[in-house]
Amino acid sequence: QVQLVESGGGLVQAGGSLRLSCAASERSFNINVMGWYRQAPGKQRELVASHTSGGSTNYAGSVKGRFTISRDDAKNTVYLQMNSLKPEDTAVYYCYAAYLGGTYWGQGSQVTVSS
């Protein structure tokens, strides 16, 4: 199993920035994919960004150019740098890890963007 602990959510004004962190209990270089989903009230959970162990990244169209995902395998941590935040980015953000056929989730971090 992999335990994921998130930090960094909060309240920010539109146009501002936040950085989410997700620390894994397993060595992250062993984890195939790490990334972030989000779920806004009344909406389905959607993929925000992902980062493979090989270095490939993928972004939702709505965040491309504003958000950046990165991994620090020395710290077993994945980050999501969120810039130019919009009210529609308001959601609970969940870190995830795909590892040995299983998917593991962080506890969720509330991100609220005020207009």
Question: pLDDT at position 27, please?
Answer: 82
Helix (H), strand (E) at residue 63: none
Question: pLDDT at position 1, please?
Answer: 86
* pLDDT tens digit at each of 115 positions of the chain: 899 999 999 999 999 999 999 999 978 778 899 999 999 999 999 999 999 999 999 999 999 999 999 999 899 999 999 999 999 999 999 999 999 899 999 999 999 999 9
Question: pLDDT at position 7, please?
Answer: 96
Contact 97, 24 (CB under 8 A): yes
Backbone angles phi, psi at 89, to 5 degrees: -85, -5
Question: pLDDT at position 30, please?
Answer: 83
Question: pLDDT at position 29, please?
Answer: 73
- Using the CB atoms, write b or e for 49-80: b if 16+ within 10 Å: bbbeeeeeeebeeebeeebbbebeeeebbbbb
Query: In angstroms, what CA-CA distances link 6 with 14, 28, 33, 54, 107?
Result: 22, 14, 16, 22, 7
